[in-house]
Structure 1
């Protein structure tokens, strides 16, 4: 996805953006975070310990273990993320955007920190902490990373309730949720869309309409009904999110009885999305352009 020098650069930029969100919105409005950053923020609130230094100290033992278990490439990227967040969280302490509306602060915090973390994760890097623990437990115990990360965040949020209060914990959960959604968007990229499968007796009419009205390609798959044993043609088509309604309208106009399923596609690469269009010969009066 990115060449190695660009990966290091993206991790640094992601760390900077994340730190701006951390200081500018979370800490400025006395909100909390999850994982090891959340623990560092709580120690700041209670004992006035620097977030950057605390975060770095907490991660050093885990980085040593990870070096032995997962190799230098993973550790280098993770260490860069850890050091980046540690350094930038101290350098950006002057960025404070307090507001009387903590919900607004949580929303902005989630967006900004999500962009930063998304850039880091998109390169294959991490910010250490809970991610390293999750990888270690998966390697040693076979535990799922998602469950481990969720369990650690639950522990941190429980600490937030005890130390700061329930209301802060609830707003912090909003920030975590928004951040997770933004991370997904950044990792998946703008090239996401919908995959549509259509089963219809009028499949060629639908194919023709999609080609001519949307200029999108389709694929015909041969399928056999498990109950009837009949062979049918299944139309498979990938479109942008904005084109879904137009495809549904075409299907309804051609065959209202068609069986349709629509599913998310998190990343699309190829003609019509990430490559330039390639003109192809007309086939049976249907295809004008390969996409």
Structure 2
């Protein structure tokens, strides 16, 4: 039985406000990107003669092709490694009695409080001493380390909701902790891992500060990192700037729309089990 309208009204208002907060900026950017180059669009106004070629011009001017490849390689290196490490660490902290696990978890929580701006300078000198500065490998390792506190926290929260009886039954059948993880816990954690991979993809793709500071070669930066060069070249051309920004945002929007079910499923599962 559905709740009365008076009870559902606040939630509907919040959903409508969130929808407008997300859609209005995108609509404004789209209409601005379709105006003639050199003009300054004001507000949301659909042009009489949409200039769709602005997206092609922005792609060529910003040299997005090598940056797209670089971002894909970075995602391929960060997301699987971070998800695997976080899943195993979350299982150890959530299901096993790991010595020093409480201390390790507190350190992870402290890592969540550190802003990236406070760590970027020490990371720069550390990568320089290791010979990994200006390399895609160094940027990959940095992103895995930065995402790890939240990723482990996310997976630990999932494994805490898993009944202890599953592990006990597996141990009675002769399965060790590793076999229990691979055959029982990992398959049940697919929704949580899928939603975590979605978040990791979004964060990796939108990496900006690390790509600018730690990588000098523009061809090895991310698409988001290329936005700085694009703004420097066309700081007065609002039309091309909006077209380039939409090109950079498009993959994240598409991926989120395709895999949002996994994210919502994991959130609902965590709410029900909690």
Report 1 or 2 for greater relative contact order, CA contacts < 8 Å, sequence distance ≥ 6: 2
Structure holding more helix per residue: 2
Structure holding more strand per residue: 1
TM-score (structure 2 length as normaliser): 0.29
